[in-house]
Amino acid sequence: MASISFKNITKRYGTGKAAVQILHGIDAEINDHEFIVIVGPSGCGKSTLLRMVAGLEEVTGGQICIGGKVVNDLEPSERDIAMVFQNYALYPHMSVFDNMAYGLKIAKVPVSEIKQRVDKAAGILELGHLLARKPRELSGGQRQRVAMGRAIVRQPQVFLFDEPLSNLDAKLRVQTRLEIQKLHRELGITSLFVTHDQVEAMTLAQRMMVMNAGRMEQFGTPEEVYHRPATTFVAGFIGSPPMNLLTSATGVKSAHILGIRPEHLDVGTGGWQAVVESIEMLGAERLLYCRLGGLSGEQLVVRTEESVRSPALGQTIGLVPRADRIHHFDATTGARVSA
């Protein structure tokens, strides 16, 4: 197991005026045993960064270190990493056991040790009763567990996960997230997990790297990122629904954007006047989609508990923001300006 260091990492495709910059100076220190999630929208560079760690993409500038060793010029096989892909990448003609053991056989690990490692990984992932089956006889969640088992038996310094849950349905994603958390608790291997899903990021990460257009917008714990977003991008990307970002609400300076989470607006008679346009009932909670100052104003979302009486569609309500939960951002740069 090992730490990972990104030192001013850049990535470009092409040369001269035709060059396209993909990553812009990524700096981050990842501690040994940490589980880090790299999250951001499609095209932000998160998978490119992961593939550079794996050695599948060349580094244009800067240094990537694993365990204190610069790995820029090392082949993937020399980096002591194991990768879990989105599409499982299992051999259809091989059994579960043989899929998990294949890399060890290629590395000429003794047969007895191969069996020991596969049996241990199968026990951790509850695959022991499936070892004789072929991938076609497995569910999507089981196939993903086999792919993780194949990585575990390698006993690498670093795990790399490239959107491994994207092909699973909602229920299986939740179940597999729990299995990945359990896996990390038991093995403690330094892990990088790439996803575009901010819910996955919030639930899995010990720390999370939020990326946008090839830049790292924020690197911190889920609590830090959620409660103190560094930019309007982070505020609008993290959270479901995301933070309300307003430019014309009462008391906002012209050079500032005001941010307020949906759950930090209280419904009453005073405060900002807003018209209720739509209501979503979500079981234990309700989302109110409102328009400030009438139908021509800015839209915002309010989260209330199901037990709170619901207003009627078209009704004008008062919204009182909790003073200690208001965020301010620079209107030009999008950077956080409040304490």
pLDDT tens for each residue of 203-236 = 999 999 999 999 999 999 999 999 999 999 999 9
Specify whether 227 is located in the same domain as 285: no
- pTM of the model as a whole: 0.89
Strand 190-195 with 35-39, pairing = parallel
CA torsion sign for 159, 223, 177, 213 is negative
Residue 294 pLDDT level (bands cut at 50, 70, 90): low
Specify whether 113 is located in the same domain as 158: yes
Q: What is the pLDDT of residue 14?
A: 87
Query: Do 35 and 206 meet the contact criterion of CB atoms below 8 Å apart?
Result: yes
In a domain, 273, yes or no: yes
Q: What is the mean pLDDT of the chain?
A: 91
Q: What is the DSSP letter of 240?
A: T
Lowest-pLDDT range of 158-162, 178-182, 250-254, 294-298 = 250-254
Mind listing the pLDDT tens digit for each residue in 36-69?
A: 999 999 999 999 999 999 999 999 999 999 999 9
SS3 45: coil
Specify whether 105 is located in the same domain as 141: yes
SS3 220: strand
In a domain, 17, yes or no: yes
Q: What is the pLDDT of residue 301?
A: 97
- For the chain, percent of residues with pLDDT exceeding 90: 71
Both tokens of 246, joined, read: 């307003």
Scanning 67-110, the segments in alpha helix (DSSP H) are 96-106
In a domain, 336, yes or no: no
- For the chain, percent of residues with pLDDT exceeding 70: 96
Residue 211 carries which side chain, given as an amino acid letter?
Answer: M
Q: How far apart are CA 276 and CA 290, in angstroms?
A: 4
* Residue at a domain's end among 215, 234, 253: 234
In a domain, 337, yes or no: no
Above 80 in pLDDT, residue 1?
Answer: no
Specify whether 98 is located in the same domain as 230: yes
* Residue at a domain's end among 199, 234, 269: 234
Specify whether 54 is located in the same domain as 198: yes
Mind listing the pLDDT tens digit for each residue in 134-178?
A: 999 998 888 888 988 898 898 899 999 999 888 888 888 888 888
Mind listing the pLDDT tens digit for each residue in 94-125?
A: 999 999 999 899 989 999 999 999 999 898 88
Specify whether 219 is located in the same domain as 320: no
Say how many domains are in the chain: 2
Cis peptide before 241 (omega within 30 of 0): yes
Specify whether 21 is located in the same domain as 111: yes
Q: How far apart are CA 185 and CA 33, in angstroms?
A: 9
Both tokens of 263, joined, read: 């759950």
* Residue at a domain's end among 234, 264, 287: 234
Above 60 in pLDDT, residue 72?
Answer: yes
Tell me the average pLDDT across 260-279: 92
**Helices and strands in the chain: count of H runs, count of E runs:** 8, 18
Task: Give the domain extent around 32.
Answer: 4-234
Query: Do 98 and 91 meet the contact criterion of CB atoms below 8 Å apart?
Result: yes
Specify whether 153 is located in the same domain as 302: no
Round to the nearest angstrom and report the end-to-end CA distance of the chain.
37
CATH number at residue 192: 3.40.50.300
What is the Cα Rg of the chain in Å?
24
Query: Do 305 and 328 meet the contact criterion of CB atoms below 8 Å apart?
Result: no
In a domain, 40, yes or no: yes
